[in-house]
Amino acid sequence: MLTLKQIREDKDLAIKRLAVKGFDSSAIIDEIIALDDERKAIQAKVDADLAEMNNISRQIGVMFSQGKQLEANTLKQKTLDMKEATKVLQVRLSEVEQLLEQKIVLLPNFPSELVPEGKSASDNVVVRQSDNIPNLDKATALPHWELAKKYDIIDFELGVKLTGAGFPVYKGQGARLQRALISFFLDENTSAGYTEVMPPLMVNEASGFGTGQLPDKEGQMYHATVDNFYLIPTAEVPVTNIFRDVILNSKELPIKMTAYTPCFRREAGSYGKDVRGLNRLHQFDKVEIVQIAHPNESYKTLDGMVAHVENIVKKLGLPYRILRLCGGDMSFTSALTYDFEVYSAAQERWLEVSSVSNFEGFQANRLKLRFKEDGEKKTQLAHTLNGSSLALPRIVAALLENNQTEKGIHIPEVLQPYTGFEYIC
């Protein structure tokens, strides 16, 4: 979440920056400033009263020693009255602090100065695009859901029987391809210095709050109500929360982690041809990269993460483009996001396969994730970053569609050591 300093430093600038995300914050910011003023006033009154009561207590001791019992008892009664008044103030202080936090968490992160203005995905800026768009025969080219059925590698109907729509069953060479991609992505990440972790697939409310999924995306998460746990929408949530309530030394930065997990998203209200097959699922596999970085280095870190994901997509031989998201298409928590899309030749459309984002100190403030410069006592908020490296469903869709031949689906050379076969046939 934003800090009070960010909000109060320049109120008009804060409102202007949040407007880039299409968020009208003027009323909430006025409420936050009013609550913060009240908090400061109450705290000042409590501190002054406590100091006065300490001073009176010393006077009472002196008066009793001098035999001035009447004066001492009068002052004693005064301190008792002040204690009762202070208790009332402290209750109100607690209420104001809670209200203040409830208002602050409603504000999204400030967008970076690099974020283009815009209201929707159509306003995103193409940063780079490859030129290897395949030219398939439209008369014979099949979309991936038909290829999956033809080669019996993904069974969507069986998934509906077992669970529901959006929960496919991978079979035979399809299952092997999934496993191959997961291993390939993890190997690429660990070779680049990321430490692999295997986190839980369910998290508590504190973890959901820490990375910004709660309360913003509560309706998109599967909720195990008896235990009050949430199925993770991405490995970002448990992996980043490893460092919740942690103070690091600057020498430990950057910290680089990667994890494979299934991901679970309700995707409420998603229907139509654009979500057919693997285009949008409720359960899917994804490999994630997460970094905890020094604030002075986080944008250099972001560029490095983008280059790393781009290199993996290139190795798969997929046509791709990189977009810098406009303010209206960004997530609640992000300061700057780059999306990767691969081209689906049979569907003739671009499919998002990765988002790589810098959250600056927004998540770190929620997580209470701080660091100290070596030899200093003062703490600072770290910066957090994450990216998909990569999400499997649409990668698989593009691989199947773009590599279909008369002989079968050709597997990219980099994956063949993992699959053990050259063609799906």
In this prediction, residues 147-176 reach a mean pLDDT of 97
Q: Which residues contact 244 (CB under 8 A, 6 or more apart)?
A: 206, 207, 210, 367, 368, 369
In this prediction, residues 344-352 reach a mean pLDDT of 94
Say whether pLDDT at 343 is over 70: yes
Domain-located, residue 116: no
Q: Which residues are annotated as a binding site for L-serine?
A: 234, 265, 288, 386
Please state the pTM of the whole predicted model: 0.93
Longest dimension (CA), the chain: 109
In this structure, the answer to whether residues 273 and 199 fall within a common structural domain is yes
pLDDT of residue 270: 55
Q: Which residues are annotated as a binding site for ATP?
A: 265-267, 352-355
- Bridge partners for 356 per DSSP: 338, 387
In this structure, the answer to whether residues 97 and 208 fall within a common structural domain is no
In this structure, the answer to whether residues 180 and 58 fall within a common structural domain is no
In the 8-state DSSP scheme, what is residue 128?
E
Q: Which residues are annotated as a binding site?
A: 234, 265-267, 288, 352-355, 386
Say whether pLDDT at 275 is over 90: no
The CATH number of whichever domain residue 271 belongs to comes to 3.30.930.10
In this structure, the answer to whether residues 37 and 142 fall within a common structural domain is no
When pLDDT is cut at 50, 70 and 90, the band that residue 76 belongs to is confident
Give per-residue pLDDT as tens, 204-226. 999 999 999 998 777 899 999 99
What gap in Å lies between CA 380 and CA 295, rounded to an integer? 9
pLDDT of residue 374: 87
pLDDT of residue 116: 96
Number of domains making up the chain: 2
In this structure, the answer to whether residues 79 and 143 fall within a common structural domain is no
In this structure, the answer to whether residues 73 and 139 fall within a common structural domain is no
Distances (CA, A) of 417 to 17, 183, 184, 279, 420: 49, 11, 9, 27, 6
In this structure, the answer to whether residues 209 and 97 fall within a common structural domain is no
Say whether pLDDT at 273 is over 80: no
Give per-residue pLDDT as tens, 223-261. 999 999 999 999 999 999 999 999 999 999 999 999 999
In this structure, the answer to whether residues 37 and 126 fall within a common structural domain is no
Give per-residue pLDDT as tens, 86-138. 999 999 999 999 999 999 999 999 999 999 999 999 999 999 999 999 888 88
Q: Give the domain range for residue 321.
A: 121-424
In this structure, the answer to whether residues 147 and 10 fall within a common structural domain is no
In this structure, the answer to whether residues 186 and 269 fall within a common structural domain is yes
The CATH number of whichever domain residue 43 belongs to comes to 1.10.287
What gap in Å lies between CA 333 and CA 347, rounded to an integer? 31
In this structure, the answer to whether residues 365 and 304 fall within a common structural domain is yes
Domain-located, residue 113: no
pLDDT of residue 69: 85
In this prediction, residues 311-337 reach a mean pLDDT of 98
